[in-house]
Amino acid sequence: MDLNEKTVSSQPIFNGKIVKLRVDTVALPDGRESTREIVEHRGAVAIVVVNDDKEIFMVRQYRKPVEKILLEIPAGTLEENEDPMDCARRELSEETGLTAAHWEPILSYYSAPGFSDELLHLYMATGLEPGDTHPDQDEFLELVKLPLTEAYRQIFNGTIVDGKSIIGIQYAMKKLKEF
């Protein structure tokens, strides 16, 4: 069975600093036409940051789209043509002030493929060395360090509700044999 859709036309709607929005008219497999609203995104990285004591470094920050303060693993948007690993190193330093001796790519996944092409690259960083934070000018963060097992518990009590953080924490729990 052919499940592919063919783009008939594409209309740019918005071109912002972080995202673009377009509306595509598509031909469906049965020949009918429909429209798709698509958010274009350069991609992003997220980092599971764990020290030798099995504590995870997270950031607490206000997220305007959901009007809430969330607890998340450090993350950020790729600059144009930026290598994801370079972005992960930059974001780790900006948001936590840390550098890491060991980096492990975990996985890359589409965060919301029903309406966006954002590809998120998830890494684990260990072998940490301290430094100074230097967040973006419009970024206000609180650095939080907690036992990995406590972060895992916070997923299930509803405190941690961010998808990339949930995936990263569960990966770290399994990797470090905390299950």
Query: Could you tell me which of 152, 158, 130, 155 has the C-alpha nearest to residue 143?
Result: 130
Residue 107 has pLDDT above 70, yes or no: yes
With b meaning 16 or more CB within 10 Å and e meaning fewer, what string describes 125-144?
bbebeeeeeebeeeeebebe
Question: Which sequence spans correspond to the domains of the chain?
Answer: 6-41, 44-175
Of 50-59, 74-83, 126-135, which range is least confident? 126-135
| DSSP-assigned letter for residue 79 | P
pTM summary value:
0.94
Q: What percent of the chain shows pLDDT beyond 90?
A: 93
Alpha-carbon gap, residue 52 to 94, rounded angstroms: 21
- pLDDT of 134 reads 77
Alpha-carbon gap, residue 136 to 128, rounded angstroms: 21
Alpha-carbon gap, residue 122 to 23, rounded angstroms: 29
Query: For the domain 44-175, what is the CATH code?
Result: 3.90.79.10
Q: Which two tokens stand for residue 37?
A: 């609203």
